[in-house]
Structure 1
């Protein structure tokens, strides 16, 4: 990952309904919102400080990679990726694995990648 100065772009990827927007909004606002509109890519901007240095954070919450494979070059243009899956949906983990494989083959840089399991509070409905 590049040094923390200037701008940092993070793309949040994963299957539909795994909680990408909830995680992003929770991180930025410290609040949980239960309902989100799916089907829209949303870009969030924020600034944080790394020591005394301001860093502009640009987070792209990608609605669904299934609809956006080869056509979405911006999908692969980021400094870091958060790949989200739901512990209640095994198929979302398969989507996450596919995204990781795609990143390995299509991204020439070496971005940081975080694989994030979500919905642990719903463990009782785990599939």
Structure 2
């Protein structure tokens, strides 16, 4: 069984739980950007964007570099493999459960059809 780091998963999912932060990641997936550019794109204050970037940075999803007065953001080195593995484990579990449910429903339908044919005969 794969061991997951609860602190790492918590940080990642907390960072990804916010629509603005997910948008920032999408934007940085296209091109690096300054905090000022991100703040303008998301119609928020510099302080607000700095907080969002800080959460993403703590989770390792974004890195920043300051040159002069400009802080540039880019995607971090983490590729979310641990998070993807955790999600996949539960996706497989739910898929198996739904497959079993489908079998039960199909069996119930067959019994209903058989009962209906027997009553009409």
Task: Pick the TM interval, shorter chain.
Answer: under 0.3
Provide TM-score, normalisation by structure 1.
0.21
Q: Which has the higher contact order (CA 8 A, sep 6+)?
A: 1
Provide TM-score, normalisation by structure 2.
0.21
Structure with greater strand share of residues: 1
Structure exhibiting the larger radius of gyration computed from Cα positions: 2
